[in-house]
Every structure is written in structure tokens, then in C-alpha cells.
């Protein structure tokens, strides 16, 4: 249990190792100038540094709360998509019948209509998740070297397969061509669903009340789609993210100039009782400065990691896995054979490591 608790710390240390080396250099240079070259005037009173650190703590706290709020809202939206999708599959299967049809059709024809509506819904989820994975100009998290290292260990289906290839198994060629010609492909698919329901109502395969119920489900899907698109298309305000990032580096650069004199004073007091320790105690300012710098910087970077919950990072909402899980549920509702139903996407990376 204790080893598992250490895994996240080890992972974060590996994640921030390049910055940690820089923190060491930033703390080492002022210490050498102060102790070796005796430039003792290179110091700053601790009070202004503490004030900057206090302000920075508030900024980072606000940023982390806002970023977590975006992640949690995105997860709730896709949780709603899960529930509404299952509702769609259940209602389509129950409401497309010959019960109110004066000219009954065969059972195979009914199953074909139900399968078309179900598969088109899977196509809608596929189009939506591909839209959520499209890169935006403000999504720069993967530009960092250590973030790219983790990206190589993750399985992002939208980066391995094109939308056109994935839609082939769910839509007819005519519908696929129509959808791909539109700017908002997921909206086009819901529009096809609505038109299909209207035709089924006119044929008598859907009762008028059932038609209204299914249209309400489509309306809920439109609402969830719009909420997901809102998070994707509206970035975390740059003024908050930028000021936090700059404040962190100002604090990191000032920190050694406040810590070194304090450790020097402590070392002077220790010389009488512990000469060896007191003589070299000032060098302990380096690891202490590195630790404090690492804590503030890592907290700020964690906030940046959660700003865009659909970017495709390790901590994003797993929309690919969610979509595949819904597809499995819907196709099992159609009583398809297990060998026809795709398996869940493989887990390529253990976040604890």
C-alpha cells in the first residue's frame, strides 16, 4: 500500500526532472556567489518573497480549482452521453414495431431499421470524439518534452484512425459522403436520425407518442454535444494561466536570495557547537530551495495539465474508452455475436507508474 502511494510522487518527479535540474542551477549559482565569492549583498529580505509566495498560492489554487472544474464537467457530460445512449438503444428497440402499422413489415425489416438507428448513433459518438480530439491553437500541453514521452505510451484511437475509415462500418456510402461534406459532422448525424424517425412515423412503424419520445432523446443528445463542444472550443482564460506561470518563475528566481542569508545565519549560530556542520550549513539552502521551487512549479503545472480535458493527455476524460463501452452495450442490445462486437481499447499505460 505504501509503495503504491509513492508511485505518483515518483511519476511526478520523472515528469518534472528537467525543471528540477534547472531549479538546482538557479539555487547553486547565488549560493556560490554568496559563499565562495563573498558577495554577501546578494540577498533579499524574506518578507517580500513571502508575500509573493502567498499571492502565488492563491493564484495556483484558483487555477487548479478552475481546471479541475473543467475536467469534472466534461466527465459529467460524457456520463450523460453514456446514460442517454443506452436510453436511445432501449427505446429504439422497443418503439420501432408493427403495433400501430396498418401495413405490417417483416421482422427482418424491423431489425434492419433498429440496427440502422443504433449504428448511426455509434457513428455520432465516433464523430463527436474525433471532433473533441482536433487540436486547438491553445492546446500546447504536448509541446513539452516530458509530456511527449508519456504521449508515446498512450493509445489515442483518434490519432491512429481517420474519421472516414471509422464511419465506414456504421453508415452507408451515401450517408458517409453526406456527413463528411458537413462542417459539424456530429450535428449532421443527429439530423439524419431525426429525418429517419420522421419517415418511420409516416410509415406507421413508430407511434406518434414514441416519435416524440425519441425526438426528446435526440434533443438531449444535442444538449450534451453542445456542452462538450463548449468546453472544447472555449479555452481556460489565458490571463489567469499566464499570470500564474510568470508568478511561479518570478518566485523561483527570487527564492534563493531570501533562503541563502537565512541559512547563513543559522550556520553562524551552529559553528560554536557544531563547527563542521555550521561551516557548510549554508549549502543546505540549495536542496531546500529546490524542494520549495519544485512544489510550487509542480502544482502550477498540474493545473495546466487539466485545462483542456479533451486534448488527449494522460489525465483527460477517456472519451475513446467511454465511446467504445457504449458501442459494446448497444451492439449487445442488438443480440450480436461476441465475435462481431469490437473489444474495449487496450490499456497502454499505467498512470500509477
pLDDT value at 289 more than 80: yes
The rounded percent of the chain whose pLDDT value lies above 90 is 75
In this structure, are residues 193 and 218 in contact, taking their beta carbons and an 8 Å threshold?
yes
Question: pLDDT value at position 200?
Answer: 96
CA distances from 76 to 14, 69, 85, 221 (A): 31, 10, 14, 13
pLDDT band at 75 (very low <50, low <70, confident <90, very high): very high
125 half-sphere exposure, CB direction, 13 A CA radius = 29
Nearest C-alpha neighbor of 191 from the set 202, 204, 203, 175 = 175
How many domains is the chain partitioned into structurally? 1
Q: Which of 93-102, 111-120, 141-150, 257-266 has the lowest mean pLDDT?
A: 141-150
Average pLDDT over residues 319-345: 95
What is the model's pTM?
0.88
Q: How many CB atoms sit inside 10 A of residue 5's CB?
A: 9
Specify the residue for cell string 486547438: 136
pLDDT band at 154 (very low <50, low <70, confident <90, very high): confident
Q: Is residue 212 part of a domain?
A: yes
Answer positive or negative: Cα dihedral of 281, 287, 290, 295.
Answer: negative
pLDDT value at 1 more than 50: no
Question: pLDDT value at position 7?
Answer: 58
Q: Is residue 242 part of a domain?
A: no
Can you read off the three cell numbers belonging to residue 52? Answer: 509573493
Average pLDDT over residues 63-70: 92
Question: pLDDT value at position 351?
Answer: 44
pLDDT value at 209 more than 80: yes
Average pLDDT over residues 183-212: 96
In this structure, are residues 61 and 168 in contact, taking their beta carbons and an 8 Å threshold?
no
Question: pLDDT value at position 28?
Answer: 97
Average pLDDT over residues 278-299: 95
Can you read off the three cell numbers belonging to residue 326? Answer: 457504449
Q: Is residue 194 part of a domain?
A: yes
Q: Is residue 301 part of a domain?
A: no
Q: Is residue 287 part of a domain?
A: no
Q: How many CB atoms sit inside 10 A of residue 116's CB?
A: 20
Among 136-145, 181-190, 263-272, top mean pLDDT goes to 181-190
Tens-digit pLDDT profile for residues 215-243: 999 999 999 999 999 999 998 887 777 88
Q: Which residues contact residue 300 at a Cβ distance below 8 angstroms, ignoring those fewer than 6 apart?
A: 60, 63, 244, 245, 248
pLDDT value at 2 more than 50: no
pLDDT band at 6 (very low <50, low <70, confident <90, very high): low
Host domain of residue 97: 78-235+319-334
Report the alpha-carbon distance of residue 182 to residue 253 in Å, rounded: 51
In this structure, are residues 192 and 127 in contact, taking their beta carbons and an 8 Å threshold?
no
Q: Please give the backbone phi and psi of residue 152, each rounded to the nearest 5 degrees, phi first.
A: -65, -15
Nearest C-alpha neighbor of 301 from the set 17, 101, 97 = 17
pLDDT value at 3 more than 50: no
Can you read off the three cell numbers belonging to residue 176? Answer: 458517409
Q: Which of 91-95, 101-105, 256-260 has the lowest mean pLDDT?
A: 101-105
Q: Is residue 37 part of a domain?
A: no
Question: What's the mean pLDDT when you consider all of the chain?
Answer: 91
Angle between helices 2-15 and 17-35 (to 10 degrees): 70
pLDDT band at 353 (very low <50, low <70, confident <90, very high): very low
Q: Is residue 24 part of a domain?
A: no
Can you read off the three cell numbers belonging to residue 36? Answer: 565562495
Q: Is residue 168 part of a domain?
A: yes
Amino acid at each position: 500500500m505504501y509503495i503504491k502511494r509513492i508511485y505518483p510522487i515518483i511519476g511526478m518527479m520523472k515528469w518534472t526532472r528537467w525543471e528540477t535540474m534547472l531549479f538546482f542551477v538557479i539555487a547553486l549559482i547565488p549560493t556560490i556567489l554568496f559563499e565562495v565569492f563573498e558577495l554577501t549583498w546578494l540577498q533579499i529580505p524574506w518578507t517580500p518573497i513571502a508575500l509573493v509566495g502567498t499571492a502565488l498560492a492563491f493564484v495556483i489554487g484558483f487555477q487548479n480549482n478552475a481546471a479541475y472544474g473543467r475536467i469534472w464537467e466534461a466527465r459529467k457530460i460524457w456520463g450523460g452521453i453514456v446514460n442517454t445512449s443506452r436510453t436511445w438503444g432501449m427505446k429504439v428497440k422497443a418503439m420501432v414495431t408493427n403495433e400501430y402499422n396498418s401495413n405490417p413489415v417483416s421482422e427482418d425489416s424491423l431489425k434492419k431499421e433498429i440496427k440502422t438507428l443504433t449504428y448511426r448513433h455509434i457513428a455520432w459518438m465516433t464523430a463527436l470524439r474525433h471532433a473533441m480530439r482536433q487540436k486547438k491553437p491553445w492546446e500546447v500541453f504536448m509541446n513539452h518534452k516530458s509530456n511527449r514521452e508519456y504521449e508515446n505510451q498512450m493509445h489515442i484511437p483518434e490519432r491512429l484512425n481517420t474519421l472516414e475509415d471509422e464511419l465506414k462500418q456504421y453508415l452507408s456510402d451515401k450517408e458517409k459522403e453526406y456527413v463528411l461534406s458537413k462542417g459539424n459532422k456530429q450535428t449532421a448525424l443527429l439530423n439524419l436520425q431525426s429525418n429517419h424517425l420522421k419517415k418511420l412515423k409516416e410509415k406507421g412503424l413508430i407511434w406518434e407518442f414514441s416519435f416524440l419520445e425519441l425526438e426528446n432523446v435526440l434533443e438531449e443528445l444535442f444538449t450534451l454535444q453542445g456542452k462538450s463542444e463548449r468546453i472544447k472550443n472555449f479555452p481556460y482564460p489565458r490571463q489567469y494561466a499566464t499570470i500564474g506561470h510568470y508568478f511561479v518563475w518570478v518566485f523561483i528566481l527570487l527564492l534563493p536570495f531570501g533562503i541563502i542569508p537565512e541559512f547563513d545565519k543559522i550556520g553562524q549560530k551552529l559553528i560554536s557547537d557544531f563547527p563542521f556542520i555550521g561551516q557548510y550549513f549554508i549549502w543546505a539552502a540549495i536542496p531546500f530551495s529546490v524542494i520549495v521551487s519544485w512544489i510550487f512549479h509542480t502544482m502550477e503545472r498540474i493545473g495546466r495539465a487539466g485545462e483542456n480535458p479533451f486534448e488527449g493527455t494522460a489525465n483527460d476524460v477517456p472519451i475513446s474508452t467511454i465511446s467504445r463501452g457504449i458501442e459494446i452495450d448497444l451492439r449487445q442490445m442488438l443480440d450480436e455475436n461476441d465475435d462481431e462486437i469490437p473489444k474495449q481499447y487496450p490499456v497502454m499505460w499505467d498512470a500509477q507508474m
